[in-house]
Amino acid sequence: MRPETGSETRGDPRRAFVDPAQWKRLSDAATPQEFADAWLSLQCSHIPGITRGVVVLGDPKTREYSPAAFWPEKKSVNLHLTGAVELAMQQRKGVMRNPGQANGKKNSSQLSYLAHPFLIGDDLYGTVAVEVATGNPNTLRTLMRQLQWGGAWVERFYRRDKDKTPSGNKHLATILELVASGLEKERFHDAANAVVTDMAVKLGCERVSLGFVKGTGMKVVALSHSAKFNKKTNLIRNICRAMEECLDQAATILYPSPDVSYPFINRVHGEFSKQHGKCGICTVPLVMHDRIIGALMYELSGGKQFTPEQTEVCEAIGQMVGPILYTKRRDDRNIVTKVAISFLSGLAGLFGPRNLGWKLFAILLAGAIMFFTFATTQFRVSADATLQGAVQRVMVSPLDGYVSEALVRPGDIVEEGQLLFTLDDKDLVLERLKWKSELEKYRRQYRDVLAKFDRSEIRILKAQIEQTQAKLELAEKQLARTKVKSPFHGVVVSGDLSQSLGAPVERGEVMFELAPLNAYRVLLHVDERNINHIKLGQKGRIVLSGAVEQQLPFEVNKITPVTETKEGGNFFRVEASLGATPAFLRPGMEGVGKIEIGERKLIWVLTREMMDWMRLQIWTWWP
């Protein structure tokens, strides 16, 4: 399976792969167990989809093997992983096991198990086995190849004592030093320039060039011994063409060809060598997550040719350094570029093959956008509502006195003429008797004077009798007022005299408030942000807390120009007349009223408050 080419990888390596501490552990490892632990952590962090892993090491002479490293730490090894280890050691080659498919199941999301042995000649030094969360055969073959490439590091660790020359250990140290030089720089361009320059020095190359995929071509981002360079020169164009030749074939390209049976085309490399001093060239593709992300181009001066050992070192460097530099380059982009690339990657995944779930989601999202854009609904303004009587009668004390009796309390239903309360009438009774006695006395005197025909006395007594009669009538009327009755059929809204019997009251003091039961009004508290939508004559409905199953119609008949502060906001009082008066209604009931404004776009109704808030904030902060 050939790696795919593209400007972006399908997934990102986990952050442990670019952690300098992990690479330092690998570089400083003194024992096989320490090396295996650091190597397994880096390998499992680099290869996507691994859920657990184990490295088994031992002595090929005694054939005694035991687990040397686990990933993640303290995670147990199941029977399937153990079986893969034993099968790889028995067959001495890489193995893939898929228990689900073995049982006749077809599920691309099931767990699979890969294992690859560490062989140096005919000696078996151990095995690495991993558990991956996929059953796709193509993906498993790609992961197995990456596991084989990574296993070369462990084999090199064992070769350093076995080889007669220190070249293997030297090459391993070279790779680790290049990785360290790429990690210690924070900025991508600094890290890329440092790495390619160190490559040129350590490998004896005249020039090392680093390029990354851009669209369908290549872009050179770093040259050894050159902090800055002109990207429009012929040299850079020719380097890009050579890298594109490597990109097209997805393989390492050598010039001159190692032998007559060399299977790859290197015509562009040959032209480059002739134009720039007959140099030997080795161009290595940089692969990350089964996609080619760039290329490294090595040049030897003096017509030298890359040996197989040098080619192997160049490929190993590209395998380890390429993903690190790519990750730094991706993280070093500005936020606008990151957003644009993420958007384009999302579009590529959306309109490309597979990703059925995302396609269905996009279709549903597009349908929702179309629906909210063209659909209309009734726009209604909500407001807290209170039910009040259309008329409220205040019952006051008719005169100064003392409360004698209270016959009703708030909430009581009263009939027209029903007695509400009485005042103490003892003083008024005595005063009435007084004026009655006075009236009888003046009448007797009037009869005596009338018999004597004394006209002046007659006129005086007649005036006194009329005055006394008026005072008697006043006393009788005040006595009648001590019994206060309901003027209509209604309900007592407020006033409780049951705890004030015998208490003194003054004339005009409020004793009760009454409201009729056959006429109501709705008082709505409308937020100032919505008052511009309210007009006289608009219809609406109210739902009361005590009767949520019924919607009562009303009509707006008054908008007051005065605001009230309530719960941190300003509200206008809007009055409305109730269209129906069910028997259960009582003054003081509360609920929520909605005033119908008219048909509006559904998206406007849902986003209206947010858009108004944004406009206000922009206006506030705009200079």
Domain limits, the chain:
31-162, 337-374, 393-513, 519-621
**Picking from 124-128, 136-140, 215-219, which range would have the lowest pLDDT averaged per residue?**
136-140
* Residue range 516-533: mean pLDDT, rounded: 88
Check residue 295 and give its pLDDT: 93
* Residue range 573-582: mean pLDDT, rounded: 88
pLDDT of 165 over the 50 cut: no
- Residue 170's pLDDT band, with cuts at 50, 70 and 90, is low
Question: pLDDT tens digits for 97-110?
Answer: 877 655 555 444 47
* Residue range 70-87: mean pLDDT, rounded: 81
* Residue range 588-614: mean pLDDT, rounded: 90
Report the residue count for the chain: 623
Please tell me whether residue 399 adopts helix, strand or coil conformation. Answer: coil
The two three-digit tokens of residue 404, written as one number: 């004698």
Check residue 6 and give its pLDDT: 40
Q: For residue 256, is the peptide bond before it cis, meaning its omega torsion is within 30 degrees of 0?
A: yes
Residues 6 or more apart from 453 whose CB is under 8 A from it? Answer: none
- Residue 557's pLDDT band, with cuts at 50, 70 and 90, is very high
* Residue range 191-218: mean pLDDT, rounded: 87
Where is mean pLDDT largest: 169-183, 245-259, 413-427? Answer: 245-259
Q: Is the dihedral of CA 9, 10, 12, 18 positive or negative?
A: negative
Where is mean pLDDT largest: 181-195, 304-318, 550-564? Answer: 550-564
Q: For residue 263, is the peptide bond before it cis, meaning its omega torsion is within 30 degrees of 0?
A: no
- Residue 8's pLDDT band, with cuts at 50, 70 and 90, is very low
pLDDT of 121 over the 80 cut: no
pTM greater than 0.75 = no
Phi, psi of 529 (to 5 degrees): -70, -15
- Alpha-helix residue ranges (DSSP H) falling in 352-425: 356-374
From CA 81, how far away is CA 470, in angstroms rounded? 118
* Residue range 248-261: mean pLDDT, rounded: 87
With CA atoms as reference, report the closest residue to 241 among 273, 263, 264.
273
Phi, psi of 319 (to 5 degrees): -65, -40
Query: Residue 403 corresponds to which amino acid?
Result: V
Q: 284 or 329, which is more confident?
A: 284
Q: 171 or 498, which is more confident?
A: 498
pLDDT of 430 over the 90 cut: no
- Residue 164's pLDDT band, with cuts at 50, 70 and 90, is very low
Alpha carbon separation from 294 to 2, 45, 222, 318 (Å, rounded): 15, 21, 12, 10
pLDDT of 77 over the 80 cut: no
- Alpha-helix residue ranges (DSSP H) falling in 185-233: 188-203
Q: Which residues pair with 394 in a beta bridge?
A: 513
* Residue range 264-277: mean pLDDT, rounded: 88
Q: Please give the CATH number for the structural domain made up of 393-513.
A: 2.40.50.100
From CA 304, how far away is CA 323, in angstroms rounded? 29
Check residue 495 and give its pLDDT: 80
**Picking from 164-173, 374-383, 404-413, 505-514, which range would have the lowest pLDDT averaged per residue?**
164-173
Where is mean pLDDT largest: 443-452, 502-511, 598-607? Answer: 598-607
* Residue range 188-192: mean pLDDT, rounded: 84
From CA 422, how far away is CA 497, in angstroms rounded? 11
Check residue 524 and give its pLDDT: 93
**Picking from 72-81, 189-198, 277-286, which range would have the lowest pLDDT averaged per residue?**
72-81
Check residue 7 and give its pLDDT: 37
- Residue 182's pLDDT band, with cuts at 50, 70 and 90, is low
From CA 298, how far away is CA 317, in angstroms rounded? 11
Q: Please give the CATH number for the structural domain made up of 31-162.
A: 3.30.450.40
* Residue range 461-475: mean pLDDT, rounded: 85
**Picking from 4-8, 19-23, 157-161, 425-429, which range would have the lowest pLDDT averaged per residue?**
4-8
Check residue 183 and give its pLDDT: 62
Check residue 13 and give its pLDDT: 40
Question: Are 192 and 210 a contacting pair, CB within 8 Å?
Answer: yes
* Residue range 613-619: mean pLDDT, rounded: 91
pLDDT of 596 over the 90 cut: yes
pLDDT of 1 over the 50 cut: no
pLDDT of 260 over the 70 cut: yes
Alpha carbon separation from 528 to 51, 86, 570 (Å, rounded): 58, 77, 6
Neighbours of 622 (CB within 10 A): 6
pLDDT of 476 over the 70 cut: yes
* Residue range 341-357: mean pLDDT, rounded: 74
Check residue 574 and give its pLDDT: 93
Task: Given CATH 2.40.30.170, say whether it is the number of domain 519-621.
Answer: yes
Query: Residue 523 corresponds to which amino acid?
Result: L
- Cα torsion at 609, 610, 615, 617 (round to 10°)? 110
* Residue range 377-386: mean pLDDT, rounded: 92
